[in-house]
Amino acid sequence: LTKAMENTTQVKFFYLFGLQETFNNKSVYFILSLITYLLIITVNLTMIITIIQEKGLHEPMYIFLCSLCVNGLYGTAGFYPKLLLDLQSDVQVISYGGCFIQTYVIYTSVMCEMSTLTVMSYDRYVAICRPLLYHTIVTSLTVRKLLLFSWCYSLFTGLIALSLAVRIPLCGSRIDKIFLYCDNYSVVKLACSNTMLNNISGLVGTLVSLSCTIFPTIYSYVRILQICLKSSKEKKQKAFNTCTPHIASLLNFSFGCLFVILQGRYDTAHLPPILRTFLLVYFLICPPLFNPIMYGVRMVKIRQACKKVLGLKT
């Protein structure tokens, strides 16, 4: 135990070797990363400002979308500034505290995305399956409660995961070579002591989170499908138009999370390094860009409101 404690005090920094293993021309990737981050900020801020300014968009579906965009900015802020700094440095290091802050931000952002998408599936379920009671069930108070729960649940579970991680004595400071950022799994792998408590809590937390998100979402869309099969062609088309952006966002985010899980648990050395890196950060690139653009393209009210806010002709 004493040796473990001594090792813990020695770990002041973590070394990230993902860039050295992957990128030969860092200046090119710096420009690409900077453009990507600026695009993410632009499209999400545009969507947030549009929804806030336009009273016609003060409806549950658009408010949930606004929360999704806020979360997109929050999550990417925990990754891109550090990545851009690393791309300009010869050695990629992050402080002990900075590593856990980055882990917390990315983890809570993922959890918030999952819970918000689940809430949005419930909103679509009520809108399509119980349209006459929609405004009675999904009130402004209900929307506030659902959003508050989504954020508080994410922040709270993140604190639990963080508190379990910081208590572990570490015997190393080198983050797995495929990772460009700190994450809970990579840090726990450096532990000197038994990590059974972390593994069990991680498994339980994952099962609870998946149960509270996947099952309600599946149930919502099964019920929506049942209603659509009995509805007229016009109602089917309306349901398709309102559900398509959400389903696309859900699948896009799910694929990103799946890539991270698979790469962390299985050997992907046979894949090209640049492909492995892209798949690892897919959830930090595509969903934050994809969500506002997808909704802006698919939904007429948002498209028209964005043009109005930007001063373009409608």
- Which token pair is 56? 């016609």
Report the alpha-carbon distance of residue 155 to residue 162 in Å, rounded. 10
Residue 170 region, left (φ>0) first, then alpha (ψ -120 to 50), else beta? beta
Q: Which residues pair with 191 in a beta bridge?
A: 170
Report the alpha-carbon distance of residue 292 to residue 68 in Å, rounded. 9
Q: Which residues pair with 93 in a beta bridge?
A: 15
Q: Is the pLDDT of residue 1 over 80?
A: no
Interval 132-152: pLDDT, tens: 999 999 999 999 999 999 999
Q: Is the pLDDT of residue 244 over 80?
A: yes
Name the CA dihedral angle for 99, 104, 110, 113, rounded to a multiple of 10 degrees: -140
Strands 93-95 and 174-175 turn out to be: unpaired
How much is the pLDDT for 237? 84
Instruction: Give the residue among 96, 217, 203, 212 at the shortest CA–CA distance from 154.
Output: 212
Instruction: Give the residue among 284, 313, 241 at the shortest CA–CA distance from 102.
Output: 284
Whose tokens are 């099969």? That residue is 229
Report the alpha-carbon distance of residue 270 to residue 175 in Å, rounded. 20
Strands across the sheet with 93-95, in order? Answer: 93-95, 13-16, 174-175
Least confident interval from 66-80, 147-161, 264-278: 264-278
Mean pLDDT across 102-122 = 94
Chain centre distance of CA 170: 28
Q: Tell me the pTM.
A: 0.89
Domains in the chain, start-ordered, CATH in brackets? 2-309 (1.20.1070.10)
Name the CA dihedral angle for 93, 95, 97, 102, rounded to a multiple of 10 degrees: -20
pLDDT level of residue 123 (50, 70, 90 thresholds) = very high
